[in-house]
């Protein structure tokens, strides 16, 4: 076996199809001479002889060529937590419903393995955001997000003031505010009425959720901007969610700051990124089942 090459598997073990797919992936990689790691908490479910069992954590991916995810977008977001510190590329194989972050569908699993073995893939970087919670200048908590950071109510309507680049923008009584990346524009922000942003566009999205205000439209701001959401004193508390996974409770009077992070998440792409805009358009049509009947395309001489 070629010890210089290895991949880490991250599997949604609650799905029978994912477990069966994982066994196939392990077998094919081992036959090709590529070592396979599986996380300790997943190894019992997968039960694959020949795979190396490693503890969960960022160190699990150290030295691996790629992290391959078998599951949906939620599983891929969990995998991003492992891969981001070492900048290891993540490749998603969709076994969920929409799977917008995934590169391939489960029926193409064999060709996915062959492409990785043949190094027939490219890597693109996806913008992430750093999120900081402050109280009177003191940092209370810090986290990051690939899709979005969301300030949300926990009970009664939340009272907040939005700020862009150090200047107040508007006060909202709302269910929450989403601060999203272009990658996250097709996730929670999309459901809340935000625009779809192509991945190569660098921007930050600010999307109020059910805001009671005259000015409460989704905003697209510079990637160099800092967005702040202040939870007003005297009002109800809130909660911060990062990618729907990491939770931080927000008491009245705190401030949540969101800005572009210097550390991206790297996604492996099997079909190249030279025409990523066209590929993203195709992905939108396929994932959302958009009607394109009647399209003729550009006339050719």
Domain 129-260: which CATH number of 2.40.50.140, 2.70.50.60, 2.60.200.30, 2.30.30.30:
2.60.200.30
Domain with CATH 3.40.50.10330 in the chain: 2-120
Give me the average pLDDT of each 10-residue run along the chain (301 residues). 81 88 94 95 88 92 95 93 96 83 86 94 95 97 98 96 97 98 96 95 97 93 98 96 97 98 95 64 90 89 71
Contact 259, 226 (CB under 8 A): yes
Measured torsion, CA atoms of residues 57, 22, 72, 144, in degrees rounded to the nearest 10 = 10
Place of tokens 């931080």: 248
Whole-number pLDDT of residue 272: 54
Domain with CATH 2.60.200.30 in the chain: 129-260
Fold (topology level) of 2-120: Rossmann fold (3.40.50)
Whole-number pLDDT of residue 67: 97
Contact 161, 230 (CB under 8 A): yes
Q: Residue 183: left (phi > 0), alpha (psi -120 to 50), or beta?
A: alpha
Whole-number pLDDT of residue 3: 54
Q: Which residues are tagged catalytic? A: 73
pTM to 2 decimal places: 0.92
Whole-number pLDDT of residue 17: 85
Whole-number pLDDT of residue 283: 87
């Amino acid at each position: 076996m070629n010890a210089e090459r290895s991949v880490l598997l991250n599997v949604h073990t609650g799905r029978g199809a994912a477990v069966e797919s994982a066994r196939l992936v392990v077998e094919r990689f081992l036959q090709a001479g590529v070592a396979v790691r599986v996380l300790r908490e997943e190894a019992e479910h997968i039960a694959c002889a020949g795979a190396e069992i490693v503890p969960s954590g960022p160190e699990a991916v150290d030295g691996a060529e790629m992290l391959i995810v078998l599951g949906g977008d939620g599983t891929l977001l969990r995998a991003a937590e492992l891969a981001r510190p070492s900048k290891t590329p993540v490749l998603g194989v969709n076994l969920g419903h929409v799977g917008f972050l995934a590169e391939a569908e489960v029926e193409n699993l064999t060709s996915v393995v062959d492409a990785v073995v043949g190094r027939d893939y490219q890597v693109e970087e996806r913008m992430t955001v750093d999120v900081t919670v402050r109280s009177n200048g003191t940092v209370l908590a810090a986290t990051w997000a690939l899709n979005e950071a969301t300030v949300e109510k926990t009970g009664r309507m939340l009272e907040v003031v939005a700020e862009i680049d150090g200047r107040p923008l508007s006060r909202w009584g709302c269910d929450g505010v989403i601060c999203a990346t272009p990658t996250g524009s097709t996730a929670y922000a999309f459901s809340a009425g935000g625009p779809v942003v192509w991945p190569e566009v660098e921007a930050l999205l600010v999307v109020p959720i059910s805001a009671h205000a005259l000015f409460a439209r989704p905003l697209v701001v510079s990637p160099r901007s800092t967005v702040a959401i202040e939870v007003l004193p005297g009002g109800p508390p809130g909660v911060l969610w990062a990618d729907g996974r990491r939770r931080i409770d927000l008491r009245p009077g705190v401030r949540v700051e969101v800005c572009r992070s210097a550390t991206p998440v790297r996604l492996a792409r099997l079909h190249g990124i030279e025409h990523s805009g066209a590929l993203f358009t195709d992905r939108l049509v396929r994932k959302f089942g958009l009607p394109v009947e009647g399209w003729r395309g550009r006339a050719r001489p």
